[in-house]
Amino acid sequence: MAAYLQLGHDSWNLISELRAFSGLVISPVNDPPSAVIERLRRLGDYRNTLEVVFDPQFYNPRTSRGCLREWDYLPSAYESVNVDTSADWRVLTSAIVRAARNIGSDAVCSPAFVPKVYSDEYYSSVVEVADIMAAECKQGDMDVLLTAIISLQELAVPGRPHQIASILSASSVDRLYVIFQEPRPPREHLADYGALVGAIELIRLLSDAMRVQVAFCHHDVVLWKAAGAHDVTSGKFLNLRRFSMARWTEEDPGGRMNSYWNDASLLTLLRDADVARLDHAGLINEQIVEENPYSMRILSIIRRGTKEPWTALSWRQYLHWFASMDRQMINSEALKGLLLAADKSWTQVAERKILFIDKFNDGSWIRVWLGALADA
């Protein structure tokens, strides 16, 4: 199992500083080719310990956001993007493979756009595209990951996880890059019981035939690892912890810089006033805090009450937890134990009548997650 860093705006310094990830996912919307090549060069020998995955971010083919227009696999006139036939896809995948090779990627994700309807035909098309790309990589110099964007809500339909798994596992590609599409804001936890049961079931089915990597994870990484995902991916901003189409269309609030304490006991993000309330009630788990050097530094700032900014520390605190959790929680029983401990911690919060600033931050999703894991 491996944790990957999902790159976003100004994320490169976190790679060598944390030295906690097994790989990274390149973000062409944030960096042009020349910058990626230079940043990888600066990693020196450490680069050889990482798997570099190139995600072409073809989610909205007609977008011109960020640095995407500087990558030559997309034409300068975005309205001319046309992928109606297999021949069109061959041209596109060939260009993407070429771009991935030019920056020295170890693996490349197949292009996939967000559909209007998540039909069997859509899933069949992403399989076809991945197989076309695999043929382009027959030299064996790069792995191919089949990109599958999946509506989380759709997985609540009985039998749908089996149908999707049957289609995707028919691919000649043996690695899968799963992106769950969910309209809920990134700060709010996934809590649709039926959808989560379906998602866990889907990952379990696919993991029998493919190496599954779940992208854009947040605290829900606990579910995907317990379901059998081999690799998981997350980043410093909220829009890197849950897939957001706004990142490729309009101003995205998930990318704004806010300070949130990652509470490893409650499996949630808290504002500084919330952390102060917990600390005053004696509900900060000092042992867990000491395991994360960034937690200790943030807590010291909050206790001093100096209003010293700690946004940069909060990114590092979360990513340190994410990578450490991936290494330590190696089986489903350990992950269930983590959720049971979180449920107990939320009970203590309720008993002390502590209310957090964000109304949705009440721990209710923890039992939904436990139930989904038990019933999937």
Cα distances (Å, whole numbers) of residue 45 to 26, 36, 49, 50, 320? 18, 16, 8, 10, 22
Taking 70 as the threshold, does the pLDDT of residue 165 lie above it? yes
Tokens encoding 332: 């489903």
Nearest alpha carbon to residue 92 among 75, 108, 79, 106: 75
pLDDT digits (tens, 9 = 90+) for 97-147: 999 999 999 999 999 989 999 999 999 999 999 999 999 887 778 999 999
204 three-class SS = helix
Gap between the Cα atoms of 359 and 21, Å rounded: 33
53, amino acid identity: V
Structural domain spans, the chain: 2-255, 261-375
State the Cα–Cα distance between residues 314 and 235, nearest whole angstrom.
Answer: 12
Written as one letter, the residue type at 93 is T
Class of domain 2-255: alpha beta
Tell me if 154 sits within 8 A of 183, measured CB to CB: no
- Rounded mean pLDDT of 261-289? 96
Q: Are 152 and 193 in contact (CB under 8 A)?
A: no
Quote the CA–CA distance of 244 and 184 in Å, as a whole number: 10
- Residue 108 has phi, psi (to 5 degrees) of -140, 135
pLDDT digits over 202-212, tens only? 999 999 999 99
- Does the pLDDT at position 83 exceed 80? no
How sure is the predictor about 249, in pLDDT bands with cuts at 50, 70 and 90? low
* Predicted TM-score (pTM) above 0.85: yes
Per residue in 25-56, pLDDT (tens digit) is 999 999 999 999 999 999 999 999 999 999 99
| Contact predicate 173/212, CB 8 Å | no
Looking at the chain, the number of H-run helices and the number of E-run strands are 13, 10
Answer whether 178's CB lies under 8 Å from 148's CB.
Answer: yes
Reading the block at residue 254, the tokens are: 């998930």
Average pLDDT, stretch 218-244? 94
- Between CA 246 and CA 114 the distance in angstroms is 12
Between the alpha carbon of residue 340 and those of residues 53, 205, 265, 318, 345, the distances in Å are 34, 25, 10, 20, 9
Q: What is the pLDDT of residue 251?
A: 46
Longest dimension (CA), the chain: 64
Number of residues assigned to the chain: 376
Higher pLDDT, 65 or 95: 95
Cβ partners under 8 Å of residue 57, min gap 6: 27, 28, 29, 68, 248
Higher pLDDT among residues 55 and 69, named by residue: 55
Which alpha helices (H) appear in 169-235, and where do they start and end? Answer: 193-207, 221-227
pLDDT tens sequence across 231-241? 999 999 999 99
Residue 279: which residues within 8 A CB-CB, separation 6 or more?
299, 302, 303
Residues 6+ apart with CB under 8 A from 41: 47
CA 256 distance to own-chain centroid: 17
Residue 285 has pLDDT above 60, yes or no: yes
What local confidence, expressed as pLDDT, does residue 100 receive?
Answer: 97
Residues near 121 by beta carbon (within 8 Å), at least 6 away in sequence: none
pLDDT at position 76 is 54
pLDDT value for 197:
98
Helix, strand, or coil (residue 282) = coil
The pLDDT assigned to 78 comes to: 46
Around 232, how many Cα atoms within 13 Å sit in the side-chain half-sphere? 28
The whole-number average pLDDT for the span 313-329 is: 90
Query: Is beta strand 231-234 parallel, antiparallel or unpaired with respect to 211-214?
Result: parallel
